[in-house]
């Protein structure tokens, strides 16, 4: 972005600047003083520490100006100051102005309890074959990340693909009304954040907020296999299209063939084509269907979408296959976890052939609230000692699953470790795993099973 300070001050309704100050050109924004480059505007946000404390560091880094919250005056700094009621809201106002008035790309907004990042990556890969596309980096999907993504757009951006996350009611409403999407996508409704929402119905209500800013001539694309979405979609007046595995959907997949490093499938809409995605799982086929519907909406030919899906880049820590230091195959999926995703990954993992054993290392699924013990125990239905021979369980709530599995797993095939015993679990696992075994690592990111993964890959075994 490039805007003068005078234009920025007008948009965010900051105090008027002098002609000399207002003529300065801002080349970007940053809320982390360590990521500032000369010519940028600093946005001091309130977090664990108040961002206003870092205004001196922003000046040293070469910032040309800074937002300052009115309740923090007076501020002593050599930087030009734009006084606003709330720096975060000012950044959001500026992002909406830049999006709608300066660049004006088509906007695709994607949310869901699971699969939104993968769907974002697939969608961007398809659209990039025909358009200049910008997508959400990493998981910049909240009230800070979305405006930052918008403000990072180049002026020639034609399509902006935004991932939108939420952990409370109203969050998606704010993001959707900020971005005013042309296409809104919901991948699925799971149990993520059920601690705060209590029921899947309320999660569905919150996810539907992504349609609140949908343009009048926009399109709502959603998982038609989910009754909670079917019911709520009836209230949407814009065009609606669905994807899934059932024939009633706008497009649906069949002939799904899973492999370790890719999954093949066909789509009824294009019966002569076989699609392939470089990741495992029927659930990722469903994500691909959402991306295909978006691509068709943007008039990308199916043969081109086929090639784009076959080579799209998967975001790190999501269903990655790695080789451990003694030669074992490791399926790492340690970025996030909820019961629906956990069962799906265990199912796919158990179907891969191994000359040795299938070993599942499962950590707590967070933010499940009072239902957490029951939801963890419910994973038992996905685990069979004939298919997954050894289970390592880690975390407070995994105790409920350990107690349930004790009825069908021999004691020497079931291992449970509380939160303060990760190092012991890691050592035991290292000593247990053989070169012909296949290992699954799956947990919420807060359990940090990536440290266990590093130990298995790096070695150092007893």
How much of the chain, in percent, has pLDDT values that exceed 70?
A: 97
pLDDT at 69: 96
Same domain, 58 and 132: no
Q: pLDDT tens digits, residue range 267-305?
A: 999 999 999 999 888 889 999 999 999 999 999 999 999
Instruction: Kindly state the helix (H) or strand (E) to which residue 65 belongs, with its residue range.
Output: strand 65-69
pLDDT at 87: 97
Same domain, 325 and 305: no
Q: pLDDT tens digits, residue range 113-146?
A: 888 999 999 999 999 999 999 999 987 999 999 9
Q: Are 297 and 287 spatial neighbours (Cβ–Cβ below 8 Å)? A: no
Reply yes or no on whether the pLDDT at 408 is more than 60: yes
- Residue 92 in any domain: the answer is no
- Among candidates 440, 244, 232, which has minimal Cα distance to 333? 440
Q: pLDDT tens digits, residue range 333-392?
A: 887 888 988 998 999 899 888 999 999 999 999 988 888 999 999 999 999 999 999 999
- Look at residue 279 and give its three-state secondary structure: coil
Look at 59-63, 195-199, 234-238, 343-347 and tell me which has the smallest mean pLDDT.
195-199
Cis peptide before 294 (omega within 30 of 0): no
- Residue 53 in any domain: the answer is yes
Average per-residue pLDDT in the chain? 93
pTM: 0.86
Annotated binding site: 112-118
Q: What is the mean pLDDT of residues 197-222?
A: 93
pLDDT at 129: 98
Reply yes or no on whether the pLDDT at 76 is more than 70: yes
pLDDT at 462: 45
pLDDT at 195: 55
Split into its structural domains, the chain has a count of 3
- Residue 315 in any domain: the answer is no
pLDDT at 375: 94
> Which of 270, 292, 310 is the C-terminal boundary of a domain?
310
Adjacent-strand bridge partners of 392: 361, 415
Range of the domain at 42: 3-85
- Residue 95 in any domain: the answer is no
Same domain, 362 and 399: yes
Reply yes or no on whether the pLDDT at 241 is more than 90: yes
pLDDT at 133: 98
Same domain, 331 and 261: no
The pair of three-digit structure tokens given for residue 179, joined into one six-digit string: 């971005």
pLDDT at 171: 95
Same domain, 231 and 356: no
Same domain, 300 and 379: no
Annotated binding site for ATP: 112-118
Angstrom CA distances, 316 to 34, 313, 365, stand at 23, 9, 19
- Residue 235 in any domain: the answer is yes
């Amino acid at each position: 972005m490039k805007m003068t300070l005078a234009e920025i001050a007008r948009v965010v309704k900051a105090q008027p600047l002098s002609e000399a100050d207002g003529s300065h050109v801002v080349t970007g924004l940053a809320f982390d003083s360590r990521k500032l480059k000369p010519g940028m505007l600093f946005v001091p946000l309130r977090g664990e520490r108040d961002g206003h404390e870092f205004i001196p560091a922003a000046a040293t880094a070469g910032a040309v100006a800074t937002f300052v919250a009115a309740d923090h005056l007076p501020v002593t700094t050599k930087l030009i100051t734009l006084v606003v009621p709330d720096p975060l809201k000012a950044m959001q106002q500026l992002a909406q102005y830049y999006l709608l008035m300066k660049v004006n790309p088509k906007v695709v907004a994607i949310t869901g309890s699971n699969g939104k990042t993968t769907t974002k990556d697939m969608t961007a890969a398809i659209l990039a074959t025909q358009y200049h596309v910008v997508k959400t980096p990493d998981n910049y999907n909240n009230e800070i990340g979305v405006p930052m993504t918008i403000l990072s757009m180049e002026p020639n951006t034609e399509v902006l693909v935004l991932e939108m996350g939420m952990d409370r009611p109203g969050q998606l409403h704010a993001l959707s009304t900020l971005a005013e999407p042309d296409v809104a996508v919901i991948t699925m409704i799971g149990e993520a954040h059920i601690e705060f929402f209590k029921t899947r119905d309320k999660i569905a209500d919150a996810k539907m907020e992504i349609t609140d800013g949908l343009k009048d001539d926009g399109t709502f694309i959603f998982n038609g296999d989910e009754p909670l979405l079917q019911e709520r979609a009836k209230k949407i007046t814009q065009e609606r299209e669905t994807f899934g595995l059932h024939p009633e959907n706008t497009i649906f997949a069949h002939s799904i063939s899973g492999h370790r490093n890719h999954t093949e499938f066909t789509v009824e809409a294009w019966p002569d084509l076989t699609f392939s995605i470089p990741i495992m799982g029927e659930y990722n086929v469903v994500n691909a269907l959402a991306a295909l519907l978006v691509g068709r909406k943007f008039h990308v030919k199916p043969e081109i979408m086929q090639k784009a899906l076959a080579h799209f880049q998967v975001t790190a820590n999501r269903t990655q296959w790695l080789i451990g230091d003694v030669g074992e195959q490791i399926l790492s999926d340690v970025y996030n976890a909820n019961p629906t995703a956990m069962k799906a990954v265990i199912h796919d993992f158990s179907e891969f052939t191994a000359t040795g054993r299938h070993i599942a290392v499962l950590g707590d699924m967070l933010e499940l609230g009072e239902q957490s013990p029951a939801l963890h125990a419910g994973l038992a239905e996905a685990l069979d000692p004939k298919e997954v021979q050894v289970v390592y369980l880690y975390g407070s709530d995994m105790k409920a699953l350990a107690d349930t599995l004790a009825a069908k797993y021999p004691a020497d095939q079931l291992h449970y470790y509380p939160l303060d015993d990760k190092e012991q679990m890691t050592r035991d696992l290292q000593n247990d795993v053989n070169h012909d075994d296949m290992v699954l690592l799956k947990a919420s990111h807060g359990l940090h099973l990536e440290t266990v993964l590093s130990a298995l890959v790096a070695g150092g075994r007893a």
